[in-house]
């Protein structure tokens, strides 16, 4: 049965072969496949690019190729974050995925210079800082479009991360963080209640101590340590804790939304 990926590949194969030069984004290259698929999808993003020596296009271009696992590993060694690459590829600005896509045919490994694209790369490597009146300066991690800063939560030093789809959402996410911090005692209690209900119960039922004893809520709260709070512009948030080996090194998280007192907790990793 044909999939949307198959349809996309067919559309890309129908396009003419072009010389494609571009800047690989901060997330580098990766691969994945869905259940039932034999080949992997090797992918990376060009954040600035040109074809056949034309003008630079600043819209993101997803470049992909179907590959075996061995081919995937070899390709990932060739394509790294924050580099200018020259390729042979087939581009479809309009396709079943609804975004610019390209099919990789080959990689030119010879060193070459493109002054304009090198300048774009230099600009992308400059630190991006956004300031907030309450939290101070946030630094952007381009690989995941996240702004982070160090701050305090109910007397504990934590990392505050604003997870965005695009940089322009910074102010919306910051407002969600403000709402959390403005009522921090209430949210801290709700988070701990959630973890006691959803996570401590797992400990009692499935993860007893070596001596067979159980862990009380007081002991549980004294051992776990909050290290990161993640906030999204749509109001969702996550509190991430170190487990102090209560769950053999798994992370503990509580998740919720700013307009609801209903939270869920679990272990991850």
Q: Is 203 helix (H, G, I), strand (E, B) or coil?
A: helix
Q: Are residues 144 and 231 in the same domain?
A: yes
Answer whether 67's CB lies under 8 Å from 75's CB.
yes
Q: Are residues 118 and 8 in the same domain?
A: yes
CB count, 10 Å around CB of 77? 8
End position of a domain, from candidates 122, 138, 159: 122
Q: Are residues 49 and 89 in the same domain?
A: yes
Q: Are residues 149 and 112 in the same domain?
A: no
According to the model, what pLDDT value does residue 208 have? Answer: 60
Residue 195 confidence (pLDDT) above 80: yes
Q: Which domain holds residue 258?
A: 129-268
Find, among 106, 108, 100, 55, the residue nearest to 83 by Cα: 108
According to the model, what pLDDT value does residue 215 have? Answer: 83
Answer whether 247's CB lies under 8 Å from 265's CB.
no
Over the stretch 66-80, which tens digit does the pLDDT of each residue have? 999 999 999 999 999
Over the stretch 85-109, which tens digit does the pLDDT of each residue have? 999 999 999 999 999 999 999 999 8
Residue 207 confidence (pLDDT) above 60: no
Cα separation of 79 and 29, whole Å? 6
Residue 249 DSSP label: T
Domain count, the chain: 2
Residue 214 φ then ψ, to 5°: -105, 165
pLDDT band of residue 114 (cuts 50, 70, 90) is very high
Over the stretch 228-240, which tens digit does the pLDDT of each residue have? 999 999 999 999 9
CATH code, domain carrying 118: 2.40.50.140
According to the model, what pLDDT value does residue 118 have? Answer: 96
pTM of this structure: 0.79
């Amino acid at each position: 049965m044909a999939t949307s990926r198959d349809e996309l590949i067919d559309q890309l194969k129908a396009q003419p072969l072009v010389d494609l030069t571009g800047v690989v984004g901060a997330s580098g290259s990766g691969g994945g496949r869905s259940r039932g698929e034999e080949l992997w999808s090797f992918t990376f993003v060009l954040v600035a690019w040109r074809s056949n020596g034309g003008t630079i296009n600043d819209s993101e271009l997803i470049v992909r190729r179907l590959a075996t696992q061995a081919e995937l590993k070899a390709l990932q060694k060739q394509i790294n974050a924050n580099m200018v690459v020259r390729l042979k590829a087939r581009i479809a600005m309009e396709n079943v995925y609804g975004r610019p896509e390209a099919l990789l045919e080959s990689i030119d490994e010879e060193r070459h210079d493109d002054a304009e694209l090198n300048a774009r790369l230099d600009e992308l490597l400059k630190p991006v800082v956004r300031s907030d009146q309450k939290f101070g300066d946030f630094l952007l991690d381009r690989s995941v479009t996240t702004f982070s800063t160090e701050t305090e939560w109910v007397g504990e030093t934590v990392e505050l991360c604003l997870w965005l789809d695009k940089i322009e959402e910074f102010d919306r996410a910051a407002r969600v963080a403000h709402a959390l911090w403005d009522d921090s005692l209430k949210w801290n209690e709700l988070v701990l209640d959630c973890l006691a209900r959803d996570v401590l119960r797992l400990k009692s039922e499935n993860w007893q101590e070596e001596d067979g004893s159980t862990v009380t809520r007081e002991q549980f709260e004294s051992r776990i340590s909050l290290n990161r709070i993640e906030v999204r512009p749509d109001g969702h948030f996550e509190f991430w804790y170190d487990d102090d080996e209560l769950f053999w090194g798994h992370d503990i998280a509580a998740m919720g939304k700013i307009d609801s007192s209903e939270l869920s907790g679990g272990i991850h990793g």
